[in-house]
């Protein structure tokens, strides 16, 4: 273990983290799409010369834990040179689902042939082609979901590969927006490279690398100390996704968590096989959800580095819904299955640490995508958003309402920005009161969102917790399940959780998101108050 100065270590921790945050600000401010500019569906991170995570911005948990796989695949595919930028979105080569495009570049010092660090961004693009606008389709195979990009150089020695960019843009519905968002990712990485070069110039590479090693070791020590503080033993839990969207029975996700002497074995091998529909997650997504949950166990503000995962042994055999193989459809694995993986991990750990773990949150990102031709602006449009729900109650307090939880850290799209960009009117947007589960502490309430379409559109919903509600803990009641329906010619038509359909002008889509589980039994005094 390298000796370290705790004050210097804290300084470098914030220098690295602020670089990631600044990259994110550049990405957001230079992007074109509502999804990135308003909802902030992006992430930025720094990796050392070996591809180990050094720092991350406070961005999207589902992105950040999976991004090291993208960096690894890029490094295996290329020996990056100064001015090179690789991109990748293939879920079977380090990506998560196709709309998440990752960019990776090296940070080079004078007279050094290999990168001293890597910077990376990941952004959810509102359309990457495929069978449905928004590229979150109800698909049966990856080929239906959009253009699939293996690790490939978009920029070579500082020059954009224009034929390659033209190929990518020819396969999407909104090419100008896609080009703008990709260029924003490149600008964000340039900022990260510049900040790291300045940092190394000021302190020297040896000092910077020493603090990188110490930060990674510090995170590992904090994780081991937290695991030692929990009672040893084997803790099992399972929950399910409602279906795969094609009439399947509920899809079981199961975990067995074994705690022993500062280490943890996390075993997903009893989960169901990969599904026919798009709810499959790859190992990177499962890794991301696991890293998120175990980081949340640490009550101190620990840096998110590669050291957090060192004490964890993750068992996830290929071919499960948590470790799907090609050519499985993957769109909802990153957004829905990641939430259920989180739920089962928290359910298992609640047996070891009931004072730390809340009841289940809404457990779905309520993914909505739509697109078509905008007759008012005379252009194609494609839109994607996630809709918030309730957060689980804990031993200490009620759960917050109307908030994005766990694997998503995005914001809503402001009504003004939404209506300015798309031929859609927000007819209602309010808290779904009474949807949180009862208990000594109540679960947070979900949201009701109603959208009136002003032009014809193709719509896809990928949502869960419509038949299996979020669980309560310690006697708390489950939250209410979500609901979707379409108001057409005055009739209210119920919609399944995962569906694709067409709408006409004047029709209204209503999405009611799940509340969260309550915590603890409600006493008679509570009931009378």
Q: 505 by DSSP, 3-state: which?
A: coil
- The residue extents of the domains of the chain are 6-218, 358-529
Residue 43 parent element (H or E): strand 42-48
- Please state, as a whole number, how many other Cβ atoms lie within 10 Å of the Cβ of residue 351: 16
Is the Cα torsion angle 426, 465, 34, 502 positive or negative in sign? negative
CA dist., res. 441 & res. 390, Å (int): 13
Q: Which two tokens stand for residue 35?
A: 């999804």
pLDDT at position 206: 96
Is the Cα torsion angle 491, 497, 500, 504 positive or negative in sign? positive
Which among 111, 110, 120, 114 is positioned nearest to 191, based on CA atoms? 120
CA dist., res. 112 & res. 125, Å (int): 34
Is the Cα torsion angle 152, 157, 163, 168 positive or negative in sign? positive
CA dist., res. 477 & res. 262, Å (int): 33
pLDDT at position 348: 98
Q: Are strands 483-488 and 446-453 parallel, antiparallel or unpaired?
A: unpaired
pLDDT at position 64: 73
CA dist., res. 112 & res. 223, Å (int): 34
Which among 242, 261, 457, 478 is positioned nearest to 368, based on CA atoms? 457
pLDDT at position 3: 63
The answer to whether the beta carbons of residues 135 and 331 sit under 8 Å apart is yes
pLDDT at position 525: 55
pLDDT at position 528: 47
CA dist., res. 411 & res. 54, Å (int): 26
Q: What is the DSSP string of 298-346?
A: --S-----GGGGTTEEEE--TTBTTS--TT---TTIIIIIHHHHHHHHH
Q: Which residues contact 44 (CB under 8 A, 6 or more apart)?
A: 20, 21, 23, 24, 27, 56, 57, 59, 119, 120, 121, 122, 188, 192
Q: What is the DSSP string of 364-428?
A: ---EEEEEEEETTTTEEEEEEE---B-----SSSPPPSSB--TT----PPPHHHHHHHSSEEEEE
CA dist., res. 96 & res. 87, Å (int): 13
The answer to whether the beta carbons of residues 486 and 507 sit under 8 Å apart is yes
Give φ, ψ of 421 to 5 degrees.
-95, -30
Which among 155, 157, 159, 181 is positioned nearest to 169, based on CA atoms? 181
What's the DSSP call for residue 134? T
- The per-residue pLDDT string of the chain (529 residues; one tens digit each, 9 = 90 and over) reads 556 788 999 999 999 999 999 999 999 999 999 999 999 999 999 999 999 999 988 777 777 778 999 999 999 999 999 999 999 999 999 899 999 999 999 999 988 889 999 999 999 999 999 999 999 999 999 999 999 999 999 999 999 999 999 999 999 999 999 999 999 999 999 999 999 999 999 999 999 999 999 999 999 999 999 999 999 999 999 999 999 999 999 999 999 999 999 999 999 999 999 999 999 999 999 999 999 999 999 988 899 999 999 999 999 999 999 999 999 999 999 999 999 999 999 999 999 999 999 999 999 999 999 999 999 999 999 999 999 999 999 999 999 999 999 988 888 889 999 999 999 999 999 999 999 999 999 999 999 999 999 999 999 999 999 999 999 999 999 999 999 999 999 899 999 999 999 999 999 999 999 999 999 998 755 554 5
CA dist., res. 9 & res. 218, Å (int): 9
Q: Are strands 312-315 and 53-56 parallel, antiparallel or unpaired?
A: unpaired
pLDDT at position 526: 58
Q: In terms of C-beta density within 10 A (0-12 exposed, 13-18 middle, 19 or more buried), how is residue 166 classed?
A: exposed
Is the Cα torsion angle 178, 180, 185, 189 positive or negative in sign? positive
pTM, 2 dp = 0.95
Give φ, ψ of 206 to 5 degrees.
-60, -45
524 alpha carbon, distance to own chain's centre: 40
């Amino acid at each position: 273990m390298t000796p370290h100065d705790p004050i210097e270590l804290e300084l470098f921790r914030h220098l690295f983290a602020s670089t990631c945050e600044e990259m994110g600000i550049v990405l957001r401010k230079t992007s074109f799409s509502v999804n990135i500019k308003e909802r902030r569906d992006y992430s930025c991170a720094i990796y050392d010369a070996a591809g180990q995570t050094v720092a991350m911005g406070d961005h999207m948990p589902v992105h950040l834990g999976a991004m090291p796989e993208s960096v690894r695949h890029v490094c295996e595919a290329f020996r990056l040179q100064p001015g090179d930028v690789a991109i990748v979105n293939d879920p079977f080569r380090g990506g998560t689902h196709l709309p998440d495009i990752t960019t990776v570049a090296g940070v080079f010092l004078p007279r050094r042939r290999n990168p001293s660090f890597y910077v990376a961004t990941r952004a959810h693009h509102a359309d990457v082609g495929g069978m449905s606008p928004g590229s979150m389709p109800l698909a049966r195979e990856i080929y239906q979901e959009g253009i699939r990009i293996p690790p490939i150089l978009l920029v070579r020695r500082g020059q954009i590969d224009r034929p390659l960019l033209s190929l990518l843009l020819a396969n999407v519905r909104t090419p100008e927006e896609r080009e703008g968002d990709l260029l924003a990712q490149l600008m964000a990485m340039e900022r990260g490279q510049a900040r790291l070069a300045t940092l190394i110039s000021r302190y020297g590479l040896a000092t910077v690398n020493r603090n990188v090693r110490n930060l990674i070791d510090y995170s590992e020590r904090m994780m081991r100390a937290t695991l030692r503080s929990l009672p040893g033993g084997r803790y099992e839990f399972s929950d399910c996704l409602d279906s795969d969207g094609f009439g399947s029975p509920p899809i079981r996700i199961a975990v067995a968590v074994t705690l022993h002497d500062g280490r943890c074995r996390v075993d997903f091998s009893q989960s169901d096989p990969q599904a026919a529909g798009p709810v499959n997650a790859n190992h990177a997504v499962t890794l991301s959800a696991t890293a998120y949950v175990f980081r949340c166990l640490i009550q101190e503000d620990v840096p998110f580095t590669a050291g957090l995962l060192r004490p964890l042994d993750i068992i996830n055999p290929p071919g499960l819904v948590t470790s799907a193989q090609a050519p499985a459809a993957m769109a909802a694995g990153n957004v829905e299955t990641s939430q259920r993986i989180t739920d089962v991990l928290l359910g298992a750990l609640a047996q070891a640490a009931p004072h730390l773990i809340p009841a289940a949150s809404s457990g779905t990102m309520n993914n909505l995508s739509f697109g078509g031709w905008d007759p008012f602006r005379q252009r194609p449009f494609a839109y994607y958003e996630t809709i918030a729900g309730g957060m689980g109650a804990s031993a200490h307090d009620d759960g917050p309402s109307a908030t994005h939880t766990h694997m998503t850290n995005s914001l809503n799209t402001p009504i003004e920005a939404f209506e300015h960009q798309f031929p859609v009117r927000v007819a209602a947007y309010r808290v779904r009161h009474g949807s949180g589960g009862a208990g000594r502490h109540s679960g947070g309430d979900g949201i009701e969102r109603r959208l009136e379409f002003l032009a014809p559109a193709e719509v896809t919903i990928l949502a869960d917790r419509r038949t299996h509600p979020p669980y309560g803990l310690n006697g708390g009641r489950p939250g209410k399940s979500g609901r979707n329906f379409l108001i057409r010619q005055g009739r209210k038509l119920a919609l399944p959780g995962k569906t694709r359909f067409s709408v006409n002008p004047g029709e209204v889509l209503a999405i009611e998101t799940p509340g969260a589980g309550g915590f603890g039994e409600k006493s008679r005094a509570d009931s009378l108050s």
